[in-house]
Amino acid sequence: MLDVSALSGASLKTVSRVVNGAQGVTPGLAEKVRTAIAQLGYRHNQGASSLRSRGQRTSSIGVLLHDVANPFSSAMYRAIEFAARDRGVVTLAGSLDGDPERERHLVMELVERRVDGVILMPSSGDHSYLLDERRTGTQFVFVDRPPAFFDADSVLADNRVGAARATQHLVDVGHRRIAYLGDSVDIVTARERLDGFTAAMSEAKLVPDPQLVVTDVGDPDRASVAMERLLDLADPPSAVLTAQNLVTFGVLHTLRDRRLRHIIAHVGFDDLPLADLLEPGLTVIAQDPTRIGRTAADLLFARIDGDASPTRHVVSDVRLIVRGSGELPGPFAS
């Protein structure tokens, strides 16, 4: 910037004004400055700039997700990135893979870089440590899972209602022995989905067979193995609800390998990219990652802009997408 000042003959401050598009610079002088900038290939240094001004804002936010490559996560990230771009804000993205330690570490890395805010899909079950991090002025918004021991905005899907709707759908088709495969109940989201399942079963005057409720299968392999076991029971399920997309993945493989995809009814929580091209198509409870991302970004930017109103907890609707697998009658149909 000093070089630009020297070459253009304008003072340092005037160059700064031109760079920042500030009011009140004679067009002629401004033009000289711009020429010098182009000639020297000068590039504004946002880091140095934000050190001194704009209340230390860096125009950057962090997005920490379970796994950036998960289709649900990446669709959400896309929406956040889109919202951020409108404001000239860049986004840093990281994956936590369910590791609480990595969550803390990456949050710290982001805070040390003074991002204006963080959108967090948490991997830990205790966010009290964020009280310290917030002192730097960093704002936090939670997605997919709620904050624990910490007060912050959140955007969550309606897990309970979604799981209940899926369950009821299977009941309506005529199923009685419905299996549930999901994540550990230590994860709030997973617990809510299980609650939704249980509630819908009760509603239908059905008692879930404990054998058919499996709650510690968070990845495709374990889900696959668990499903095999259920199918080997003397009295196997006629329908299955998979409470998460990786679980859905594993169960799809098992059903395909056993040639049961056309027989056992199946509803998955979360949509999958090629779900409509499967035979039969996969019936799912779909969240809207784009809307969730957009909402989270809006909440975050409002906080960054100084919104100090009470914490907001947005519940994002889910919807049932009927594609065939959830409408199968099961093995005992005539």
Residues in contact with DNA by the rule CB under 7 A: 1-2, 9-14, 16-17, 19-20, 23-26, 29-30, 44-45, 48-49, 51-54, 56
Integer Cα distance of 333 and 62 in angstroms: 52
Q: Which does 53 bind (CB under 5 to 8 A by kind): its own copies, DNA, none?
A: DNA
Structure-token match 């140095």, residue found: 48
Distance, CA of 156 to CA of 154 (rounded, Å): 6
Cα 51 off chain centre by:
31
Q: Which residues from 117-146 bind its own copies, rule CB under 8 A?
A: 132-133, 135-136
Q: Is 316 in the site for its own copies (CB under 8 A)?
A: no
Which residue number, 108 or 207, has a Cβ lying nearer to DNA? 108
- 3-class secondary-structure state, position 286: strand
Tell me, residue by residue from 102 to 121, as one string, x for binding to its own copies by CB under 8 A and - for no binding: ------xxxxxxx-------
Nearer Cβ to DNA (51/207): 51
Contact by Cβ (8 Å): 66, 97: yes
Please list the alpha-helical segments (H only) found in 140-288. Answer: 159-173, 188-203, 220-231, 245-257
- Binding of residue 46 to its own copies (CB under 8 A): yes
Residue 262 CB, nearest distance to its own copies (Å)?
A: 10
- Binding of its own copies at residue 44 (CB under 8 A)? yes
Binders of its own copies among residues 54 to 83 (CB under 8 A) are 58, 60, 67-69, 71, 74-75, 77-78, 81
Tell whether residue 92 is a contact of its own copies (CB under 8 A). Answer: yes
**Sign (positive/negative) of CA torsion 44, 45, 51, 55?**
positive
Q: Which of residues 237-266 bind its own copies (CB under 8 A)?
A: 252-253, 256
Residue 181, C-beta contacts closer than 8 angstroms, at least 6 positions apart? 214, 217, 223, 226, 227, 240, 241, 242, 243, 247, 251
Instruction: Please state, in angstroms and rounded to a whole number, the distance separating the CA atoms of residues 117 and 59.
Output: 9
Give least dist CB 113 to its own copies, A. 5
Q: Are 282 and 252 in contact (CB under 8 A)?
A: yes
Nearer to DNA, 5 or 316 (CB): 5
Give the footprint of its own copies on this chain (CB under 8 A): 41, 43-48, 50-51, 58, 60, 67-69, 71, 74-75, 77-78, 81, 85, 88, 90-95, 108-114, 132-133, 135-136, 252-253, 256, 272-275, 277-279
